Amino acid sequence: MSKRSKSSLTHLDADGRPAMVDVSAKAATARAATAECRVVFPASVAAQLRGNGLRSAKGGVVDTAVVAGTLAVKRTHELIPFCHPLPIDGIRFAIDWKTARALEIVCTVKTVHRTGVEMEALTGATVAALTVYDMCKALSHAIVLGPAKLRGKRGGKRDVGVVEDATR
């Protein structure tokens, strides 16, 4: 196989084999990423959760989701094979109703390092959503997760979308 072009996948070496990207030559810079994931409930479940202040029989749904999402951010490199272990300087979650039935989870992650935190933000948002599902599945198994998406990243070669402070 020939040398990688700029438009090719970064996690393949010159021989087309999986490889972690070498970031040792990059400068450490401030980086941030914001990701979101939605949890959509059947109307009756959403009404019940609203009436209970987002508490289920297992406890506070939002607080538990934030703790789980935070743990997931810090362990992303253990879950995604080619993610670098990163010093995480900040994690913020914003969880609120987007519509009458959809709970929106927004995760913003910050670091100063040679590689970005997009995967950490996505992992935090999706694991928080999975935790909401787990906390509420006794009410219904018709809960739908997603879409999950990157809202934005800042730092590195280029900025993408909008990175927001999830505490707004």
Give 14-70 as a DSSP string: TTS-B-----TTSPPEEEEEEEEEEEE--HHHHHHHHHTTSEETTEEHHHHHHHHHH
Is the CB of residue 74 less than 8 Å from the CB of residue 127?
no
Whether this prediction's pTM lies above 0.75 is answered by yes
Q: What is the pLDDT of residues 65-94, one digit of tens each?
A: 999 999 999 999 999 999 999 999 999 999
Domain 34-155's class? alpha beta
* Domain parsing of the chain, residue ranges: 34-155
Confidence of residue 25 (pLDDT cuts 50, 70, 90): confident
Which residues are catalytically annotated? 134
The percentage of residues in the chain with a pLDDT greater than 90, rounded to a whole number, is 75
Q: What is the pLDDT of residues 127-144, one digit of tens each?
A: 999 999 999 999 999 999
Is the CB of residue 128 less than 8 Å from the CB of residue 69?
yes
Q: What share of residues in the chain are helix, strand, coil (percent, to 5)?
A: 25, 30, 40
Length of the chain: 168
The rounded distance, in Å, linking the Cα atoms of 121 and 40 is 20
